[in-house]
Amino acid sequence: MINTLVVDDDFHVAEINARYVSRIPGFRVAGQVHDAASALAAVRESRIDLMLLDYYMPDEDGLGLTRRLRQQGTDVDVIMVTADDRAATVQQALRAGVLQYIVKPFTFDALRQKLEAYARLRTALTTRDVNQSYIDRALGTLRACAPADAMPKGFTEQTAELVRQVVARAPAPVSAHEVSQSARVSRSTAQRYLKLLEAQGQLRISLKYGDGGRPEHHYSLP
């Protein structure tokens, strides 16, 4: 199992990312922390193979933490998970030793493809004797562009993930009207995406009866 530490200052996002990781065979969530100091402590106290690391944290940014891990010779791989899509930040992350860079918001399938590629690379590098062709294939496994998730015509991955996160953060099952208000999209758009996510198995639908006796669809995570 690949022990994975989820590091994000947003408690809700950390929970969602941890839930994603737990669904991928071969990966185990070793913990969730919300600042750089806690991440360093977790690495010292237990065996961490991989860190899903946010850029923005209250005490130190993700790049600074990555550099400190490298200076200390810590044997932990880092995948940056952040809303920062600036080219300069991506370049600095790669130079600091970050293996993958994932821009928020993202879908479960997008993260799954990245983690599965990382797992294949770890497996490939367990052999002792390598040649240039072998090295090229191993690195190609990690760097190859994953195919874009197929979305039905008229839908976007960004809006689908936005709607899903609204449902995930809600303390109780929510209606299309509540989702439309939180996500700032029209009610019809919320309904379309909720139905799509429910059909894909990402959300669960239930009926709630109002005062007039008319049932209303409510959505929650499976």
Q: Considering the entire predicted model, what is its pTM?
A: 0.62
pLDDT tens per residue across span 28-63: 999 999 999 999 999 999 999 999 999 989 999 999
- Beta-strand relationship, 100-103 and 204-209: unpaired
Check pLDDT > 90 for residue 108.
no
Check pLDDT > 70 for residue 150.
no
| Average pLDDT over all residues of the chain | 86
22 CB neighbour count, 10 Å cutoff:
12
Please, which residues have CB within 8 angstroms of residue 102's CB and are 6 or more apart in sequence? 79, 80, 81, 82, 110, 111, 114
- Beta-strand relationship, 204-209 and 215-220: antiparallel
49 CB neighbour count, 10 Å cutoff:
17
The band of 83, judged by pLDDT with boundaries at 50, 70 and 90, is confident
pLDDT tens per residue across span 125-138: 766 666 676 667 66
The kind and range of the H/E element at 3 are strand 2-7
